[in-house]
Amino acid sequence: MSHPSPIDQQPAWQALDAHAREMRDVHLRELFQDATAAGHERYTLYSRRAAGLTLDLSKQRWSDETHTRLLALAREAGVPEAISRLLAGERVNQSEDRPALHTALRLPADAHLEVEGQNLVPAVHETLDRMEAMVDKFLAGQWRGATGKAISDVVNLGVGGSDLGPLMVTHALADYRPDGVHEINVHFASTMDGSQLADYLTRLNPETTLFVLSSKSFTTIDTLSNARTARDWLLGRLVHNDHEEPHAIDRALVMRQHFIGVSASPGKMAEWGIAPANQLEFWEWVGGRYSLWGAIGLPIALMVGMPNFRALLGGAHAMDRHFQEAPLEDNLPVLLGLAGIWNVNFLDIRAHSILPYDGRLEYFASYLEQLEMESNGKSVTNEGEMTAYSTCPVLWGQLGPNAQHAFYQLLHQGTQSVECDFIAPLRRYDRVENDDTRAHLKAQHRLTLANCFAQSRLLMLGDDAIEDDGPRPSHKRYRGNQPSSTVLLDRLTPHTLGALIALYEHKVFVQATIWDINPFDQWGVELGKQIAGETERILGSREGLETMDDSSRGLIEALWDAEDQASKEAATSSAGQS
Ligand code: F6P
């Protein structure tokens, strides 16, 4: 993945730079007019289909020439070779010297992927089979808590990649709960302050609650501090050695029946007290934010059942094959990645908004925030040089219809240019049984799509999106010319969702290849963890304040004052009671 000289010094980049100077003042409206005048339809020119998805890139601010030059850039940056290296399991994660093989997690059982002398597929499917055995037991009501009652609530304790993927997918596929099984309610607690967990602990029954500790490293303090609180809660409520009781419940029984661990570190899981039979392992060569496809996906499988989980993998695999086999000019992840490169590096558009028009995709933007910004928020190349060009844009999002009432004002009339991704399913509510309700819900879906299509059109055309009704005052004007992509899913199913996620994973890889950065490490989060640890020691010991800057000193002293005040109040109130 390395370039002979920086990519921005290469001919294809330089040619794009020159071309961008001509394109910068061209409005999207003109691009559409020009295409029509030449007898073309931009939608036909710039839309592609794969794996149940349609990607429309016609509202990007590009022309045929741009497109051709971007494809040349992809070739010059070695994108086709990089795709082959990624999928073959070469050590593309250079700073950590290992492959990035999330695609291996979704290979079918009869595939063969030999990496450094070992076929990885059997181990992947062995884990899936172990997951399946566990899931079947839960869904049959056979996984029982220490008092013999069937587990009905599972709380996933994890953060980042050990939370966001399963959280996003369980919401997206809530319609796919299997019928006729013992229902498992899946919950997620990630925040280190314990607020989500505290809420569950007041509502859930310890006898029927199980915790999944999800952590690739099994060292993440956020997850471990929630896990400690959960363990104390369960042990405090369930363990008793009362000889009057017919069955004494001991700690080992609680640990065995109420905790599952998912990690790449079996030693640390065992040390923490996860029973060997309840440990699900994955591999160092799966990045945290790319890990929902294996054991980290257990909460997904618990909710939708293993056949649907396997369908999710099938959709992602279909996108992997498309990524591997389709020519660059028809390759969805390549084209989506190039659109982003064009906006960031040549049109100076450094903000990107993700706007799903389907309530089930509520967490999709949060998921992509980690996938894109933790992967490509880098400024050092694979050769250790500072990049002289921009990399990942600031990316954020929200359900489109709700965002219309929140930040679309800025998209339409603010001073920032923003690239937008609109995402929506074409068909919805086919399976609603009641005719009336189905008709109403289908009408709501049509209304939602009308808004989705209207917004991308308005962002593109500005004032020209409506018939001219005379001059408008400037505060009512819309400039348009905001580029967007639209991804349409035939339906939102496990298969198309798998394909959609893989589309973005590969888009990130294409961009990283062109920017010559490593999308699979995250050194930028390490120092913060170290400094937080040191700060916590100072807060607890009240020693070492002098090593701090004066702003941090002020904040720490404010906390100590508050703690002292709380102790005084507690002392006064207990003196009053005695
Ligand atoms: O701190 C960032 C990070 O390492 C992410 O990359 C990762 O997804 C998250 O923390 C959680 O890590 P783990 O799964 O090891 O607990």
Q: How far apart are CA 572 and CA 565, in angstroms?
A: 11
CA of 221 to the centre of ligand 1 (A): 10
Measured from the CA of 529, which atom of ligand 1 is nearest? 1
pLDDT score, position 240: 77
Mutational test site, ligand 1, from 93, 190, 216, 224, max ligand atoms within 8 Å of CB: 216
Measured from the CA of 291, which atom of ligand 1 is nearest? 8
Cβ atoms 145, 202 nearer than 8 A: no
CA of 215 to the centre of ligand 1 (A): 7
Q: How far apart are CA 296 and CA 216, in angstroms?
A: 9
Mutational test site, ligand 1, from 522, 526, 531, max ligand atoms within 8 Å of CB: 522
pLDDT score, position 242: 63
pLDDT score, position 226: 98
Residues 326-339 as b/e (b if ≥16 CB within 10 A, e otherwise) read bebeebbbbbbbbb
Cβ atoms 188, 163 nearer than 8 A: yes
pLDDT score, position 246: 58
CA of 123 to the centre of ligand 1 (A): 23
Closest CA to 150 of 189, 220, 205: 205
Percent helix, strand, coil in the chain, to 5, is 55, 10, 30
SS3 sequence of 174-233: HHHCCCCCCCCEEEEECCCCCHHHHHHHHHCCHHHEEEEEECCCCCCHHHHHHHHHHHHH
pLDDT score, position 1: 46
User: Which residue matches tokens 């040619």?
Assistant: 15
Tokens representing residue 531 in the block = 């400094």
* Global confidence as pTM: 0.96
Nearest CA to ligand 1 atom 13: 215
Cβ atoms 135, 157 nearer than 8 A: no
Per-residue pLDDT of the chain (578 residues; tens, 9 = 90+): 445 689 999 999 999 999 999 999 999 999 999 999 999 999 999 999 999 999 999 999 999 999 999 999 999 999 999 999 999 999 999 999 999 999 999 999 999 999 999 999 999 999 999 999 999 999 999 999 999 999 999 999 999 999 999 999 999 999 999 999 999 999 999 999 999 999 999 999 999 999 999 999 999 999 999 999 999 999 999 997 665 665 678 999 999 999 999 999 999 999 999 999 999 999 999 999 999 999 999 999 999 999 999 999 999 999 999 999 999 999 999 999 999 999 999 999 999 999 999 999 999 999 999 999 999 999 999 999 999 999 999 999 999 999 999 999 999 999 999 999 999 999 999 999 999 999 999 999 999 999 999 999 999 999 888 887 778 889 989 999 999 999 999 999 999 999 999 999 999 999 999 999 999 999 999 999 999 999 999 999 999 999 999 999 999 999 999 999 999 999 998 888 87
Nearest CA to ligand 1 atom 10: 160
Nearest CA to ligand 1 atom 8: 161
The residues that are catalytic are 374, 405, 529
| CA dihedral (455, 456, 461, 467) positive or negative | negative
Pocket of ligand 1 (CB under 6 A): 159-162, 215-217, 220, 223, 288-289, 374, 522, 525
Nearest CA to ligand 1 atom 6: 288
Measured from the CA of 161, which atom of ligand 1 is nearest? 8
Tokens representing residue 165 in the block = 């993927």
CA of 164 to the centre of ligand 1 (A): 11
CA of 444 to the centre of ligand 1 (A): 38
Closest CA to 165 of 286, 317, 339, 333: 286
Mutational test site, ligand 1, from 215, 220, 520, 531, max ligand atoms within 8 Å of CB: 220
Nearest CA to ligand 1 atom 5: 160
